[in-house]
């Protein structure tokens, strides 16, 4: 087993070894074949095949998820779809740029543009002007057939819930990277030990100012684990119960069985941000390997019908 192998692949290897299941890992772990007797199952990416095709497609399409949740009356952050103009006017429409500018006018606090399909916060860009919007759209359309635009909101907290059969297996908050001033070092110096944080997203003038002793500064507006945020398990209590109920409502709305659901608290109210059909727990697995293994074990029990 390679030390660089993803935790997802390691977890499947462990499960199969303990349950007499043959495993064939292909494409550097992105395709895994599992077979025992006459039963053959596959894992692809971070998806182990528990979800229906339509639930998988809805979850992987941010715009479709937003529309379905709205139809079901589940509170969520709206995501407006725009198709790549390279697809032609009959598909993308003629006035997509004007529609984007109208959204910007309606939300002077800014917008967030991102690929309609994608994870880990890649090419998620905050914009506050037409020039920034144009740059973001060009970047995303260069790599994607569609993008979504959501209003920028001040996220007070973000929570991820891993659901299996409407049971919250894992509930954790995403703690944004921050530093505490010592009255001596500048923000740039304090942030130097955090390589995942993109300092170019911070005000250049603030970077060279000494942070007062004891003052806490967040280094990014993002809550993505790949951007330096840390997963912090949430104990039983009101927050966990409230988030679990909302996540279950969201899962029911799109008919999904095994999913990773991100919730955000805005102005004191919880909303669904997005749903992922592929359940990735790489960052959490480094801190809580037993919990992650138990979660994948439970999901794989469902895949193989709990036949041991």
The 10s digit of each residue's pLDDT in 217-244 is 777 666 566 656 788 999 999 999 999 9
Per the structure block, which two tokens stand in for 13? 């290897």
The confidence band for 308, taking pLDDT boundaries of 50, 70 and 90, is very low
Radius of gyration of the CA atoms of the chain, in A: 21
Q: Where are the alpha helices (DSSP H) in 204-288?
A: 204-207, 238-254, 282-287
pLDDT of residue 300: 96
Please state the rounded mean pLDDT for residues 79-104: 83
Residue whose entry in the numeric block shows the structure tokens 């395709």: 31
Report d(CA 28, CA 9) in Å as an integer: 10
CA-based torsion, 192, 193, 195, 196: positive or negative: negative
CATH numeric code, 78-152: 3.30.1490.20
Per the structure block, which two tokens stand in for 82? 């725009």
Say whether pLDDT at 104 is over 90: yes
Of the listed ranges 62-66, 175-179, 195-199, the least confidently predicted one is 195-199
Assess contact for 159 and 127: CB atoms under 8 A. Answer: no
What is the DSSP annotation of 5-70? S-HHHHHHHHHHHHTT-EEEEEGGGTEEEEEETTEEEEEETTB-S-S-HHHHHHHH-HHHHHHHHH
Closest alpha carbon to 34 in 23, 50, 45: 23
Which pTM value belongs to this model?
0.85
pLDDT of residue 189: 72
Which residues contact residue 212 at a Cβ distance below 8 angstroms, ignoring those fewer than 6 apart?
181, 183
Every domain of the chain and the residues it spans:
78-152
């Amino acid at each position: 087993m390679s030390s660089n192998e993803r935790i997802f692949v390691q977890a499947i290897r462990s499960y199969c070894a303990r349950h007499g299941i043959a495993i064939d890992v292909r494409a550097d772990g992105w395709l895994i074949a599992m077979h025992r007797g006459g039963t053959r199952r596959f894992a692809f990416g971070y998806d182990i095949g528990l979800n229906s095709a339509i639930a998988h497609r809805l979850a992987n399409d941010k715009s479709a998820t937003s529309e379905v949740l709205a139809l079901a009356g589940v509170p969520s952050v709206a995501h407006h779809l725009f198709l790549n103009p390279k697809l032609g006017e009959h598909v993308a429409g003629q006035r997509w740029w004007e529609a984007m500018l109208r959204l910007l006018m309606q939300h002077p606090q800014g917008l967030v543009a991102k690929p309609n399909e994608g994870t880990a916060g890649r090419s998620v860009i905050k914009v506050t002007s037409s020039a920034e919007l144009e740059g973001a759209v060009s970047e995303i359309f260069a790599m994607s057939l569609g993008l979504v635009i959501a209003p920028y909101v001040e996220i007070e907290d973000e929570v991820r819930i891993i659901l299996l059969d409407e049971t919250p297996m894992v509930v954790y908050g995403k703690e944004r990277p921050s530093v505490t001033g010592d009255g001596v070092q500048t923000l740039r110096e304090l942030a130097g030990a955090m390589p995942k944080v993109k300092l170019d997203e911070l005000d250049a003038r603030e970077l060279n100012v000494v942070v007062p002793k004891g003052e806490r500064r967040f280094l990014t507006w993002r809550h993505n684990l790949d951007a330096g945020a840390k997963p912090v398990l949430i104990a039983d209590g009101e927050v966990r119960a409230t988030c679990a109920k909302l996540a279950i409502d969201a899962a029911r709305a799109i008919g999904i069985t095994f999913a990773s659901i991100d919730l955000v608290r805005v102005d004191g109210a919880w909303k669904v941000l997005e749903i992922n059909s592929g359940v990735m727990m790489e960052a959490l697995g480094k801190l809580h390997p037993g919990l992650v293994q138990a979660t994948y074990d439970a999901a794989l029990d469902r895949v193989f019908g709990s036949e041991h």
